[in-house]
Structure 1
């Protein structure tokens, strides 16, 4: 018996957060109502991902960062 893959809806929301006195653009990823990770935009080429309030790495593009959040969530949940 094989499992069928089911589609999972990932929602992306952009917001701003105050970190160390600076306002930073933050992209939040949600599956259902659960936030699975955040991407902080440090500058045009540094996108740092956070999952469970822990830094998980820095990426050169927003797409790479979002993909990494989804991959890591998929491995651990």
Structure 2
């Protein structure tokens, strides 16, 4: 008997935070109430991805950042 795939709701919350003395917009990815990663814009064409407070990777688009966080969550969960 095969398992039925469950739909998982991923939310993106946008907030402003002070990082290194600068006010920045930070996007947080949530699954349920659990935070799985954050995306911080570095300049007009780069985004830093943070998972568990560690800087994991720098990507070119917001979509790439979201895909990276979800991929890492799937591998480690």
Counterpart for residue 7 of structure 1: 7
Matched, 1:32 2:32: yes
Which blocks of at least 5 consecutive residues in structure 2 are unaligned? none
- Distance apart, 1:2 and its partner CA: 1.7
Counterpart for residue 63 of structure 2: 63
Q: TM-score, normalised by structure 2?
A: 0.95
Counterpart for residue 52 of structure 1: 52
- Distance apart, 1:36 and its partner CA: 0.6
Cα distance in 2 between the residues matched to 1:70 and 1:26: 17
Structure 1 runs, 4 residues or longer, greater than 4 Å off:
none
Cα distance in 2 between the residues matched to 1:16 and 1:41: 11
- Does the 8 A contact of 1:24 with 1:42 survive in 2? no
Cα distance in 2 between the residues matched to 1:25 and 1:45: 15
Which blocks of at least 5 consecutive residues in structure 1 are unaligned? none
Cα distance in 1 between the residues matched to 2:44 and 2:61: 8
Cα distance in 1 between the residues matched to 2:16 and 2:41: 10
